[in-house]
């Protein structure tokens, strides 16, 4: 499946209209329901296959952000052969008490993986915490960039955003 066809399939599967409040606090009349494409194993696999060439060559660990980045990073790991870490919004207060589970991130080149990026806020928060734990992070990869300032915010935090698709590329031109 080529990228245009994949984009059309994601749009048909995940695009909703109505009134939605995003994590950033912004209200929008259109929304990409990431769980719709993440819950479809065939579509998720096609997304991961298309994302694999976007993974920087020096990446040692893929780090998926809770919650939507977890299925994406798992599928992407299958296509790249790279180990993955699962990053919580907050370290759990019991058991291992870790922020990141799975692959070790200390001293390794880590690529943050997210599903949809709007402002980039969660990537920045998580990256700062992961860097504090010893991860070397300078890039992030997402399925959809909503093109609402996320790439610019991330750049200011020394993170380059790579995206498989953008909202404008997914939205049919009228």
* 73-103 tens-digit pLDDT: 999 999 999 999 999 999 888 888 899 999 9
Please indicate if the annotation marks 146 as binding a ligand.
yes
Please indicate if the annotation marks 147 as binding a ligand.
no
Domains of the chain, start order: 3-170 (3.40.50.2020)
Mean pLDDT over residues 149-156, rounded?
96
Please indicate if the annotation marks 118 as binding a ligand.
yes
pLDDT at 24 over 80: no
Please indicate if the annotation marks 92 as binding a ligand.
yes
Strands across the sheet containing 136-145: 100-102, 84-87, 61-65, 109-117, 136-145, 160-166
Bigger pLDDT: 151 vs 169: 151
Please indicate if the annotation marks 36 as binding a ligand.
no
Please indicate if the annotation marks 90 as binding a ligand.
no
102 Rama sector, left if φ>0, alpha if ψ -120 to 50, beta otherwise = left
Please indicate if the annotation marks 88 as binding a ligand.
yes
């Amino acid at each position: 499946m080529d990228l245009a066809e994949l984009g059309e399939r994601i749009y048909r599967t995940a695009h909703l209209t109505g009134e939605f409040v995003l994590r950033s606090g912004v209200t929008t009349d259109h929304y990409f329901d990431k769980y719709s494409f993440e819950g479809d194993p065939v579509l998720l696999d096609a997304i991961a296959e298309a994302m694999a060439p976007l993974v920087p060559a020096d990446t040692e660990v893929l780090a998926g952000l809770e919650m939507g980045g977890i299925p994406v990073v798992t599928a992407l790991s299958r296509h790249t052969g790279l180990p993955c870490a699962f990053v919580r919004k907050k370290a759990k207060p019991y058991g291992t008490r870790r922020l990141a589970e799975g692959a070790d991130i200390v001293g390794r080149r880590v690529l943050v993986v997210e599903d949809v990026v709007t402002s980039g806020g969660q990537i920045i928060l998580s990256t700062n915490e992961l860097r504090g734990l010893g991860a070397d992070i300078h890039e992030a990869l997402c399925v959809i960039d909503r093109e609402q300032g996320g790439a610019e915010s991330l750049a200011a935090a020394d993170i380059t955003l790579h995206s498989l698709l953008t909202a404008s590329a997914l939205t049919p031109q009228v």
